[in-house]
Amino acid sequence: IKILAIESSCDETAAAVVVNGRDVRSNVISSQIALHTLYGGVVPEIASRKHIEKINQVIEQALSDASVTLDDIDAIGVTYGPGLVGALLVGVAEAKAISYAKNIPLVGVHHIEGHISANYIENKELEPPFLCLVVSGGHTHLVKVLDYGKYEILGRTRDDAAGEAFDKVARAIGLGYPGGPKIEKVSHEGNPHAMEFPRAKIEDGPYDFSFSGLKSAVLNYINGCNMKGIEVVQADVAASFQKAVTDVLVGNAMKAIDEFKMDKFAIAGGVASNGTLREAMREACEKKGVKFYHPSPIFCTDNAAMIGVAAYYDFLAGKRDGLDLNAIPNLKLGER
Ligand code: ATP
Ligand code: MG
Ligand code: FE
């Protein structure tokens, strides 16, 4: 089964061809990062306009890289939420147009289900059930993957997402957008124990997260330095912040592994490409004899290959969408 997948939920225009769910034949990503860097973050209207401009050539490239034409495609998978509504609509309208013109079945995909499914691409033996930590620009979810397309959310962030915290702290220490990769880069020259930033624990939600206090602590520290005329050592702040985020993510994940006796654990989403986080998770899992999975960085941040994988399992389960498929900006995981 050959799936053409389309992803346009945020600032990447992406298309991919995925065969039988785990064989990625092409993965084209047109990133708008350079464009949005000018504004210090994603500007929704600019994102939508850029998607419109790029989407046809991205799809053509994905088909030609995979040496297929639309006549070879068995289903079209498209992200229909969550994300920026105007950005999502571009992909959804495109997918519906192709589906209608070529009479190809249409499958709407949940973006976060895509992130989780990215783990199947390079780990052919990975199958549910397993525990997955989704850490992206808009989500921090600790999820039990019960089966393909079946999820139980154990915990989530009460305020900022992990990626959002990276982006905000990066802006505060003058690294700019996108924050995650920049913080990771400078942190290599910094001391992760230079400052002890808070690790928030949530009383009534053992698997929930909170990053706004950490973000405020970093901002207070910087303001304090500025008032006292002390130089802010960017690398030390970055490394200490990254360590605090990592400690909290690892702590909650390991608690859930113990409680639910899981023997497989995966991470997903843009922040899952962070080397410090991956190493800390790998070590913690090794100690428990738990098998640790993660996608390559290119499959962690937004891409269409992961959408093609999720679409395949949805397709197998009989999921089909009609030409009334709409973008749902706040679509919840596990909702259909
Ligand atoms: P969502 O998937 O929740 O809708 P999104 O699609 O915008 O949000 P992703 O593309 O999955 O998010 O991930 C982008 C986020 O990942 C950004 O916040 C970015 O700073 C962060 N990120 C990317 N690379 C790294 C890294 N190496 N270290 C830490 N964070 C990173
Ligand atoms: Mg992005
Ligand atoms: Fe994403």
pLDDT in tens, 63-99: 999 999 999 999 999 999 999 999 999 999 999 999 9
Query: How far apart, in whole angstroms, are the C-alpha atoms of residue 138 and residue 280?
Result: 22
Asked if pLDDT for residue 336 goes beyond 60, the answer is no
Query: How far apart, in whole angstroms, are the C-alpha atoms of residue 242 and residue 238?
Result: 6
Report the pLDDT value the prediction gives residue 88, as an integer from 0 to 100: 98
Report the pLDDT value the prediction gives residue 177, as an integer from 0 to 100: 85
Protein residue closest via CA to atom 2 of ligand 1: 136
Asked if pLDDT for residue 210 goes beyond 60, the answer is yes
Cα-based distances in Å from 84 to 23, 43, 46, 63, 64: 29, 10, 11, 26, 28
Query: How far apart, in whole angstroms, are the C-alpha atoms of residue 42 and residue 141?
Result: 22
Asked if pLDDT for residue 166 goes beyond 80, the answer is yes
Which residue's structure tokens are 């030390």? 236
Report the pLDDT value the prediction gives residue 322, as an integer from 0 to 100: 98
Pick from 192, 194, 193, 212: nearest CA to 202:
212
Average pLDDT along the chain: 97
Give yes or no for a contact between 36 and 51, defined as CB atoms under 8 angstroms apart: no
pLDDT in tens, 244-266: 999 999 999 999 999 999 999 99
Q: Is 114 in the pocket of ligand 1 (CB under 6 A)?
A: no
CA of 113 to the centre of ligand 2 (A): 16
Could you tell me the pLDDT band of residue 37, with boundaries at 50, 70 and 90?
Answer: confident
Q: Is 211 in the pocket of ligand 1 (CB under 6 A)?
A: no
Q: Is 169 in the pocket of ligand 1 (CB under 6 A)?
A: no
Q: Is 271 in the pocket of ligand 1 (CB under 6 A)?
A: yes
Q: Is 180 in the pocket of ligand 1 (CB under 6 A)?
A: yes
Residue 81 bridge partners (DSSP): 110
Pocket test for ligand 1, best of 10, 79, 278 (most atoms within 8 A of CB): 10
Protein residue closest via CA to atom 4 of ligand 1: 138
pLDDT in tens, 117-126: 999 999 999 9
Residues in the chain: 336
Class of residue 246 by CB neighbours under 10 A (exposed 0-12, middle 13-18, buried 19+): buried
Interval 19-32 mean pLDDT: 97
Could you tell me the pLDDT band of residue 40, with boundaries at 50, 70 and 90?
Answer: confident
Q: Is 137 in the pocket of ligand 1 (CB under 6 A)?
A: yes
CA of 269 to the centre of ligand 3 (A): 6
CA of 71 to the centre of ligand 2 (A): 30
Q: Is 273 in the pocket of ligand 1 (CB under 6 A)?
A: yes
Q: Is 241 in the pocket of ligand 1 (CB under 6 A)?
A: no
- DSSP state string for 209-273: B--HHHHHHHHHHHHHHHHHTPPP-HHHHHHHHHHHHHHHHHHHHHHHHHHHT-SEEEEESGGGG
Pocket test for ligand 1, best of 133, 301, 303 (most atoms within 8 A of CB): 301
For 274, the enclosing helix (H) or strand (E) is none
Protein residue closest via CA to atom 20 of ligand 1: 180
Residue 17 bridge partners (DSSP): 4, 26
Q: Is 121 in the pocket of ligand 1 (CB under 6 A)?
A: no
Q: Is 270 in the pocket of ligand 1 (CB under 6 A)?
A: yes
Percent of the chain with pLDDT strictly greater than 90: 96
Q: Is 138 in the pocket of ligand 1 (CB under 6 A)?
A: yes
Rg (CA), the chain: 20
Pocket test for ligand 1, best of 12, 139, 171, 302 (most atoms within 8 A of CB): 302
Asked if pLDDT for residue 191 goes beyond 70, the answer is yes
Omega before 105 cis (within 30°)? no
Report the pLDDT value the prediction gives residue 202, as an integer from 0 to 100: 93
Report the pLDDT value the prediction gives residue 297, as an integer from 0 to 100: 98
Protein residue closest via CA to atom 5 of ligand 1: 137
Neighbours of 296 (CB within 10 A): 10
Angle at 224 between CA 138 and CA 164, to 5 degrees: 5
